[in-house]
Amino acid sequence: GGGGGGGEGCPFMRVEDSLADRKGPELVDLATPGKASKSTSKRNKRRQKKPSPAMPSLVQRLFGTCREVFSDGGAGAVPSPADVERLRSVLDPMRPSDVGLTPNMPYFRNVGNTGRPPVTYLHLYECDKFSIGIFCLPQSAVIPLHNHPGMTVFSKILFGSVHIKSYDWVDGPEQANESLYFQPAGMRLARVKTNTAFMAPCESSILYPTTGGNMHCFHALSSCAVLDVLGPPYSDIEGRHCTYYNDFPFANFSGDSVPAAGDDGVYAWLKEREKPDDFCVVGAQYMGPRIVDN
């Protein structure tokens, strides 16, 4: 997950990639509603009673819950189990319509160019405590393996299906086992946490600073949208950089020692890399219910 009107907060995006005012034709139409005829508008005026206070949108409820849950947060601070469940209970029922998305929007079209299709990031909100944003992936788009240093991240698949592979670093007692194996230069041992396909509707997934699959990659099996809440967000100033990795099968480097049966699928070596050249993220205007920061 990651966080970027258009690009701020998105760790994957360079400033020049941010196209905050890109609107597809249907988005422009939404922004200019048709005028009602005079007679109907008069009739409607007579019918209107005093408006009752509107129920806050789900997005507004999400914002309010995030503000409370992450109020004391900082790098490495993990919300309490009760707060995690509170936030999950707001995220889990969310649907594309709650954020103004439909699967036929231009962000989800794979234009058939060679190479990976670009990913679109819709920025909803960011402060120094948390950020909310949506990644829109055409079919076969990839968000490459990356980390979330000191962060708790909630990911909710709004529609579509995506394959997620995630890792946590091997630390503590398991390090003793690691010394049995040859450690390749510049690599670090990680344990696979998740390696499976998810299809909406499904529960939100949560990763933590040291558990839950803090390093993950996404591969869109169909077009899909993923809403991400990051607490706290990436920050170069505070040293929370987004780092990318290549992963290598454990057996490739285990020398002469034979790992215990099944270890090859459980462990991998991760090596830092530059942001992949074929990974392109563009920012677009979020058109769903507004967040009121009162």
Determine the pLDDT at residue 185: 76
pTM of the predicted model, to two decimals? Answer: 0.79
pLDDT along the chain (294 residues), means of 10: 50 47 31 41 54 80 97 83 98 98 93 83 96 97 97 98 97 52 80 97 96 97 98 94 94 54 74 95 96 90
Reading the block at residue 219, the tokens are: 């591969």
Q: Which of 131, 147, 119, 76 is nearest to 219 (CA)?
A: 119
117 near 138, Cβ under 8 Å? yes
Separation between Cα atoms, residue 100 and residue 287, nearest integer Å: 6
HEC profile for the chain? CCCCCCCCCCCCCCHHHCCCCCCCHHHHHHHCCCCCCHHHHHHHHHHCCCCCCCCCCHHHHHHHHHHHHCCCCCCCCCCCHHHHHHHHHHHCCCCHHHHCCCCCCHHHCCCCCCCCCCEEEEEEEECCCCEEEEEEECCCCEEEEECCCCCEEEEEEEECEEEEEEEEECCCCHHHHHCCCCCCCCEEEEEEEEEEEEECCCCCEEECCCCCCCEEEEEECCCEEEEEEEECCCECCCCECCCEEEEEEHHHHCCCCCCCCCHHHHEEEEEEECCCCCCCEEEECCCCCCCCCC
CA 50 to chain centre: 40
Domains detected in the chain:
15-24+56-164+196-239+276-284 (2.60.120.10)
Separation between Cα atoms, residue 267 and residue 83, nearest integer Å: 31
Determine the pLDDT at residue 253: 58
Determine the pLDDT at residue 102: 95
